[in-house]
Structures are given as C-alpha cells and as structure tokens.
Structure 1
Amino acid sequence: MDAVKAVILAAIQGLTEFLPISSSGHLVLPQTLLGWEDQGLAFDVAVHVGSLVAVVWFFRRDVINLVSAWLVSVGRREHSTDSRLAWYVIAATVPAVLAGLLFNDFIESHLRSGEVLAATTLVWGIALGAVDRYSSHRRNLVDIGLGLALFVGFAQALALVPGTSRSGITITAALLVGLNRGDAARFSFLLSMPIIAAAGSYKMLELIESDLAVAWDLLAIGAVVSGVTAYLCIRVFMNWVERIGMMPFAIYRVILALIIFAVISQ
C-alpha cells in the first residue's frame, strides 16, 4: 500500500466510522472494484486510534463531566445525571464486548461475504429510514434509563455483522425508544468510545503477537487522516442531524447496497 491509497482508505474510514452508512460497505468497494489489497491489521489499528482521538476530542467536555461524575459516584456514592449516564454507557458497552468475544471467530469465518454485507446494508438502511420517519423523537438523553440503555447496547452488538454499521444500528435503536435525533446521535457517539478503544486494543494485541512488518509512515498518515476526517464528519453531522434527519443516510444505504449487489454479481 502506498501513501495515496493510505490517504484514501483512511479518509473513507474516518468519514464512514461515525455516519450511519456502514464503513465496511465502503471499504469493500476499492478492494473489489480497483483490486486493492486489504489495508492490513497495523493500518486498522492506526485508523482506529485516529477515529478514537477525534470523537473523544469533539466530546471532550462530555467525557470530562461523565468521568468526573462517575468517579464521584464510585468514591462517594453520590449520583447525578452525568454519573448515571456514565454507568449507562458502561452497561450498554458490555453486550457488544461479550458478543465480540463469543462470536467474532464465527462472524469472521461465515459472515464476511459480499452477500451478507449488501443485505445488512440494505435491511438496516430501510430500518433506519422507517424508525426516523415514525418514531416520536420526544425523549431526551436525561430520560434514558438502564433498560433503554441496554436495549441500545444489545443493538450495538449486532454491528459485529459486516454492513450493519455501529453508528447506524445504535442510532436506529435510540430513535426506536423515542430519543430525539440529536440525543440519539450523541448517545451513539458516547457508546463508540469504549467499543472503539476495546476493538483497537484487541487489534493491537494481535499486531504485537504477529510478525508483520510495520510501515510507520503509512500508519502515521492513516491515523492523522482518519482523525481529521472523523472529527470534521462528527462536527457536520451533529450540526445537521436535527435539520436533515436520517432519511438521506437511509436512502444512501439502499443505493450503496444495490451497488454492492451489482459488483458482487459480476
């Protein structure tokens, strides 16, 4: 992989990591249409680091408030709105972590086909559009309880299946339980931090145990490009989400699914 490919793949990863449009669905296209090689484990780690830095930096005030409140709740047993939200984020992360430990090998062996990728991109795109159209959008994030947080967390576990989109499935679940679009997106982004950190750490362990040669210059490019594009993507998305809703992303997913179906049928 050369520097140009590194920039393109990192930009795709950064732009699609947090939008509800399936990053795996986009990354398969340059590999299939252009014959590009898989980006590799080390590059995966780098772009995950870039994405994580971007989302933490954008929500840094939320992160500071949640972590501080959580520490107070642990140390002094004093609970607040922020401490409860922090506990909900932790609880909602557990299903995805357990699902990854239990089913990752099965998914890697049996669900990495183009047909699965296209089908999940299509099905969950339609679901996103339907939920956005018909849900109430009346609840705020302060109204969420442990049960609703776990519901979104179990939905996040489905994102292990290629084409589902982690942000797409969590936003869909959050909208389904009545959260407004802005808070649904915010909760999805808060949930992304521990799960991206966990996935990146797991990949890092794999990289350490492997004998792969590391091209540090390409990794640096990948981390920086992924981080910058992810940050800009989050900023635009959070500014626009209440105005444009999720329907444009749902329609885009349907079109993407049809393109993938056409590509794999050749």
Structure 2
Amino acid sequence: MEELILGIVQGLTEFLPISSSGHLAIFTALFNSTPDVGYFAFLHLATFLAVLIFVKAEVFEIITGITKKETEYINLASKLVLSTIPAVIVGLCFGDFIESVFSSTLLIGVFLSITGILMLLSDNLNKNLKTIKSIPYLDALIIGVFQAFSVLPGISRSGTTLFAALFLGMNKEDAVKYSFLMSLPVTFGAGILELQKITFSSEQLFGFVISFLTGLLGLYLVKKMVIGGKLKIFGYYCFLASFFVLMFL
C-alpha cells in the first residue's frame, strides 16, 4: 500500500510545482519509514515516460531537425543539454548530502516555503519576449542552475524552471514546453543511476504504473494552470504544506 501511495504522490507532484521529492519525504515520514531514495529515483523513470509521451511531438520535431542539420534545432538541443549540466554536477558531487536532507523535515518545510514564494511571483511574470527557440545560451544556463536547486526535497523542479524561464521573458506556453523537455535527461538519469538498488517487487512495479498514469494527469494540469495564470494556487498550497511539516512532523 505504501508503494502505491508513493507512486500516486510522485506522479501527481512531479510536474505540479509543489516538489515531488518533498512530498515523497513527507509521506515517508508519515509512514514512519526510512526514505528509500532508490525507489524514489525508480519512480522518476515512470514520470520520464509520461513526459516523453506528453511532448513526443516536440521531441520528434527536434530529432528530425537535427537529422536534417537545421541550425535552430541543433541550437535548441544544445541549450537543453546546457540546461541539464548544472543538475548533473550537483547530483554527482553532493549525492550523499542530498540523501541526508530527505530525513530533515525542518529543511523540507523551509524549502517548500521557498517554492511557494517563487510560485506567487511567477504569475506576475508575463513578458512574452522570447520563444523556446530564441532564448540565448546564457538563459538556458540560468534555467539549468535553477533546476539544480531542485535536487533538494521541497524545491520544485518544475516550479524553479518555470519561474526562471518566465523571469527571463519566455512566453508561458514555451516556458512549459522547455521545462518539460529539460526534465527528460534529469529524470531518466536519476532513475538509471539508482536502478541497481531496486528489488522490483510487485508492489513497486504497481507503484511505477500508477506514477506513470498520474504523471500524465499532472502534466495536463500544470500546463493548464500556467497558461491560465493560476500558479499562485500552488504557492498557497506550498505554504500550507510547509506549515504542516514544520508544525507536525
């Protein structure tokens, strides 16, 4: 039952800007069990598949453009790789520290508040100056640095990348697309690195399937909420979650 619940939590919260890792740590604390970072990473593979399906048209377009040696798609792919590098460096260099944070409800509560602040600010960022293809390499790197902070439970990956993209002037629809696309290598890498730690029980595999299905729902919801200018709702939720964690866990 625990694996099922964690699968639902991972799927729904991976793309909603409320921190999936923070919620996995919270529910683990509620279950009074030890955080299984390996299983958490395994669930990332489920949400990787969900986002791959959700942005399959964009992925196919990029791959086709690269094979045809079209400069704009080669540049876009290069920017996505650049956006991934900071999170990879942080994950490899500070893996043990990150794992220890999963046991600190105090830090998780603080980080959830930070995510809440970013979400309240994001709704007011609507410059619509740049598209997914026109952002400069420096912007791609900055968005990647924001994503790197999301390795900490309580800091939302989608929340930080959406905030950074909107702050830098990207239009809302392209900010969502870029956030989803740059999540692919990060979520895939996180899952593969921890795969050897998984026992592959029937409960864990069921949790994987549930995480995939709820991930698709989460993708639809976040796209609708971002374009509709309703990110503040997630901000208020993060504050409530932070209060609960700090007061009761």
1:145 aligns with 2:141: no
1:217 to 182, 198, 202: 202
Residue number among 229, 243, 249 corresponding to 1:258 in the alignment: 243
- Cα displacement (A) at 1:30: 2.6
Amino acid at match of 1:88: K
SS of the residue 1:43 aligns to:
helix
Question: TM (normalized to structure 2)?
Answer: 0.91
Residue number among 147, 162, 184 corresponding to 2:153 in the alignment? 162
Q: CA RMSD in A?
A: 2.0
- 1:247 maps to which residue? 232
* AA of the residue aligned to 1:249: F
3-state secondary structure, aligned to 1:142: coil
The 8 Å contact of residues 50 and 222 in structure 1, kept in 2 or not, is answered as no
Residues 101 and 152, structure 2, Cα contact 8 Å, conserved in 1 = no
SS in structure 2 of the partner of residue 155 of structure 1: helix
Match of 1:226 among 205, 211, 215: 211
1:18 aligns with 2:15: yes
Equivalent position to 2:77, from 80, 86, 94? 86
> Which residue does 2:169 correspond to in 1?
178
By how many angstroms is 1:45 displaced?
4.4
> Which 10-residue stretch deviates more, 184-193 or 21-30?
21-30
Residue 61 of structure 1 is matched in structure 2 by: 57
Amino acid at match of 2:60: I
| 8 Å contact from structure 2 (residues 111, 154) kept in 1 | yes
Say if 2:82 and 2:140, in contact at 8 Å, map to a contact too: yes
- Structure 1 residues 69 and 165, CA, compared in 2 at 3 Å: closer, same or farther? same
Aligned to 1:123, the other structure's residue is in SS state: helix
Q: Give the partner amino acid of 1:235.
A: Y
Larger Rg: 1
1:70 is displaced (CA, Å) by 2.8
* Residue of structure 2 equivalent to 1:33: 30
Once residues 227 and 86 of structure 1 are traced to their aligned partners in structure 2, the CA distance between those partners, rounded to angstroms, is 25
> Aligned letter for 2:204?
L
Q: In the alignment, which residue of structure 1 is the partner of 2:123?
A: 132
Q: Which runs of 4+ in 1 moved over 4 A?
A: none
1:263–1:24 Cα change, 3 Å: farther
Tell me, in whole angstroms, the C-alpha distance in 1 between the residues paired with 2:118 and 2:63.
33
Contact 1:181/1:245 (CA < 8 Å) preserved in 2?
no
* Aligned-pair CA distance for 1:27: 2.0
When normalised by structure 1's length, the TM-score is 0.86
List gaps (5 residues or longer) in structure 2: none
Match in the other structure for 2:191: 200
Indicate if the aligned counterparts of 2:7 and 2:211 stay in contact, CA closer than 8 A.
yes
3-state DSSP of counterpart to 2:244: helix
The 1:143–1:114 alpha-carbon spacing in structure 2 relative to 1, beyond 3 Å, is same
Report how many residues are paired: 249
Check whether the contact 2:14–2:218 (CA below 8 A) recurs between aligned residues.
no
